[in-house]
Structure 1
Amino acid sequence: MKCMADLCVIPFNHQVSVADEIATCHRVLQTYALDIQLHGYGTNLYGDWDEVFGAIKACHEALHNSGIVRISSTIKVGTRTDKDQTIQDKIQAVEDRLL
Structure 2
Amino acid sequence: MHVVADVNVTPIGAGASLSSHIAACEEVIEEAGLKYRLHAHGTNIEGSWEEVMRVIQRCHDVLHERGAPRVDSAIRIATATDKDQSLEERIDKVERKIG
- TM-score between the two structures when normalised by the length of structure 2: 0.94
One-letter identity of the residue aligned with 2:16 = V
Question: Which of 61-70 and 36-45 deviates more?
Answer: 61-70
Structure 1, unmatched stretches of 5+, are none
Number of aligned pairs?
Answer: 99
Taking only the aligned residue pairs, the percentage that are identical comes to 38
**Number of the residue aligned with 2:7:** 7
- TM-score between the two structures when normalised by the length of structure 1: 0.94
**Number of the residue aligned with 1:30:** 30
Superposed, which structure 2 residues align to 1:1-99 within 5 Å?
Answer: 1-99=1-99
> Are 1:33 and 1:51, in contact at CA under 8 Å, matched by a contact in 2?
no
Per-residue CA deviation, residues 23-79 of structure 1 (Å, 9 max, x unaligned), is 011101111131110000000001111000000000000111111110111000010
The structure 1 segments of at least 4 consecutive aligned residues displaced by more than 4 Å after TM superposition are none
CA RMSD, 1 decimal: 1.1
